[in-house]
Amino acid sequence: MSALLRSTVLAAARSPRLERAITRLPVSRAVVARFVAGTSTTQVLRACESLLRSQCFVSIDYLGEDTTDPAGADATVAQYLALIAALGALPQAEVAAGAVRPLEVSVKLSALGQAMPGAGHAIAREHARQICAAAEAAGIWVTVDAEDHTTTDSTLSIVRELRADYPWLGAVLQAYLRRTEDDCRAMAGPGSRIRLCKGAYDEPESVAFRDKAEVDASYLRCLGVLTAGAGYPMIASHDPAVIAAAGVGVQAAQRKTEEYEYQMLYGIRADEQRRLAVAGNHVRVYVPFGDQWYGYFVRRLAERPANLGFFLRALVGN
């Protein structure tokens, strides 16, 4: 997709007017169902049980972002606590201390109040702490998603702080950011869990590589740092070149199966997810659910012209 079209589609992800228009269209829900596993906890659990049966692990995201009212942030925490309680009742929550946990939730700090003026950083940190405490008791991991670059410092400092009590807490680094190779070096220490992705937001040239070849090259450099490090790399990509390079890198670093994992998004390259899992790899599928699917959905459209075309054709009824 051209950089201009990608920027235009990503700008739509931040438009409340377009959000109102698109979320009201009956056809949107049918297309969204390809990427989002329903609106309720019951529906997402059903999708997860099917993935777990096919030997994949899961990371569940309750959709929502950029929450600036306290009641909205509290409601998101309540949803996560209910989700974690339900996950804790699954047999996969029974894991030995220190072992890889098949069940995980992914959390966006902006949905927990990070963008609230004044105390947003501290509010999001304490909300995340509540979620981590519940997850620890239930045998579930938490990873903090990466959002636009204005949040990176706040997000990574919250992860660092919470890791003092919850050393298994994961963070996401985006290879398109120029700073990320350094962040990988700083965060590749023992016990750290880093999900490396390319990055899904529309970032300025001053902080991010905008050329696809440069992003891909940055991803491979960052992957090299993480696989050579002492942490647990989580290779989040659908890109065949990344998956092939990761296979070579983990072998060269003599990592065992339980010392890294592949990750992909729900509904994207499901055959490849199964192929990797059946071949004996750990594969975790990121499974989003909830009503607030608009921003997530538009970012998926921006990643691939075919997705945008499919959505536009559905709109005009072809």
Residue 125 CB contacts under 8 Å (≥ 6 apart), including other chains: 158, 161, 162
Instruction: Return d(Cα 218, Cα 196) in angstroms, integer.
Output: 11
Residue ranges in 137-156 that form contacts with ligand FAD under rule CB under 6 A: 145-146
CA 243 → CA 108, 221, 267, distances in Å?
25, 14, 17
Name the active-site residue from 195, 202, 216, 284. Answer: 195
Q: Cβ of residue 73: shortest distance to ligand FAD, in angstroms? A: 18
The answer to whether 285 touches 264, Cβ cutoff 8 Å, is: yes
Exposure on the CB side of residue 223, measured as CA atoms within 13 A? 27
Please say which residue, 237 or 292, places its beta carbon nearer to ligand FAD: 237
Closest of 141, 103, 107 to residue 124, by C-alpha:
107
* Residues 39 and 32 sit within 8 Å (Cβ to Cβ): no
Sign of the torsion formed by the C-alpha atoms of 186, 190, 192 and 193: positive
Active-site annotation holds for 195: yes
Residue 179 lies near ligand FAD (rule: CB under 6 A): no
Tell whether residue 201 is a contact of ligand FAD (CB under 6 A).
yes
Closest by CA to 58, choosing from 266, 293, 301, 295, is 266
Residue 118 CB, nearest approach to ligand FAD (Å): 25
By CB under 6 A, which span of 97-105, 128-136, 193-201, 275-283 interacts with ligand FAD?
193-201
263 beta partners: 236, 284
Does 197 bind ligand FAD (CB under 6 A)? Our answer is yes
Q: Is 200 in the site for ligand FAD (CB under 6 A)?
A: yes
Question: Does 170 show up as a binding residue in the annotation?
Answer: no
The question of whether 179 is a catalytic residue gets the answer no
Q: Which C-beta is closer to ligand FAD: that of 125 or that of 195? A: 195
* Residue 300 engages ligand FAD in binding (rule: CB under 6 A): yes
Judged by beta carbon, residue 168 or residue 176, the one nearer ligand FAD is 176
Catalytic residue chosen out of the listed positions 145, 183, 202, 216: 145
The yes or no reply on residue 236 touching ligand FAD (CB under 6 A) is: yes
Which range touches ligand FAD (CB under 6 A), out of 43-51, 181-189, 263-271, 309-317?
263-271
| Residue listed under structure tokens 């220490």 | 189
As measured in angstroms, the least distance from the Cβ of 298 to ligand FAD is: 11
Binding residue count for ligand FAD, defined by CB under 6 A: 25
Which range touches ligand FAD (CB under 6 A), out of 20-28, 78-86, 134-142, 301-309? 301-309
CA distance 73 to 65: 9
Distance between CA atoms of 171 and 194, rounded to whole angstroms? 5
For ligand FAD, give the closer residue by CB, 221 or 304. Answer: 304
**Distance of alpha carbon 302 from alpha carbon 300, whole angstroms:** 5
CA distances for 10 relative to 264, 306, 312, angstroms: 20, 16, 16
209 near ligand FAD, judged by CB under 6 A: no
Q: Which residue, 294, 290, 177, 276, is CA-closest to 235?
A: 276
Q: What tokens appear for 68 in the block?
A: 């600036």
- Find out whether 256 is annotated in a ligand binding site: no
Which residues bind to ligand FAD, rule: CB under 6 A?
A: 145-146, 172, 174, 195, 197-201, 236-239, 242, 263-265, 268-269, 286, 300, 303-304, 307
Binding-site positions for FAD: 174, 198-200, 212, 237-238
Binding residues: 108, 174, 198-200, 212, 237-238, 299-300
Catalytic residues: 145, 195
Binding residues for substrate: 108, 299-300
